[in-house]
Structure formats: C-alpha cells, structure tokens
Amino acid sequence: MPLTRPAKSPVRLVCSVAIVTLAAFAPAFGAEPEVALIIKNHRFEPTELKVPAGQRIKLVVHNQDSTPEEFESHSLNREKVIPAGAKAAIYIGPLKPGRYSFFGEYNEATAKGVVIAE
Ligand SMILES: [Cu+2]
C-alpha cells in the first residue's frame, strides 16, 4: 500500500518532539557500540573485552567451532546457546565500571573471558 504523506498538524509536531526527547535517553536502534567475540577451539577470542561503561553494548558472538557453545555470565545475567558456526547478538549494559566474567558453559575449563567496563 503506498504511503501518503499526512499534512503537517500541531499533533504531529508534538509527536516529533516526544520522539526526539526519547532518543536522547535511549540511543536509536542499532546505534549501540558493537563488540565482536569469537569462539574458536573452545576458547573466547579476545579473552578481555573493553567496553564503555554506562552504555548498552551489542556483543556479536561468532561460534567458529563445530560444536555448540553456551555463552554464560552470572554477573551480566546472560545465557545464550550459539549453534556451531552461528553468530548471535547478546545485548549487555549499561554497565557500571568493573569486571564481568563470562564463560562457555559447555567448555568451562578453556572458554573463559571478561568484559571490562570503563
Ligand atoms: Cu547455562
């Protein structure tokens, strides 16, 4: 269905202002800083992820192994299974400055890492 452009009205103007105000508090969709994390040979690469504190972060985890892995972090309160060869987005934060450890639940002995918010 073709979109028709509505005539400008005071109501529409108020809506625009409200949207701009909201945007100031919550960054636009897709505007989060993106951090890449790889799972390879049952290890995370890199093992230390430095991220800005006080912001929502998009972690893009790429499991390059031929087995599934579960990204798990108690301090970040996140848990996500990533199938073999797949990529998954995990949103974290906004975080207070500090260290937040994570691990691969299926390979805890080797798959370890830490998010450092600063
Ligand atoms: Cu788990």
Q: 7 falls in which pLDDT band (50, 70, 90)?
A: low
Helix-, strand-, coil-residue percentages of the chain, each rounded to 5? 15, 40, 40
Ligand 1 centroid – CA 59 distance (Å): 17
Ligand 1 centroid – CA 38 distance (Å): 18
The model's pTM: 0.74
Residues, CB-to-ion distance under 5 Å, ligand 1: 72, 79, 105
Tell me which of 109 and 2 has the higher pLDDT: 109
What's the pLDDT tens digit per position in 56-108? 999 999 999 999 999 999 999 999 999 999 999 999 999 999 999 999 999 99
Q: 19 falls in which pLDDT band (50, 70, 90)?
A: very low
pLDDT given at position 29? 62
Other CB atoms within 10 A of residue 99 CB: 12
pLDDT given at position 31? 81
C-beta of residue 62 within 8 angstroms of C-beta of residue 38: yes
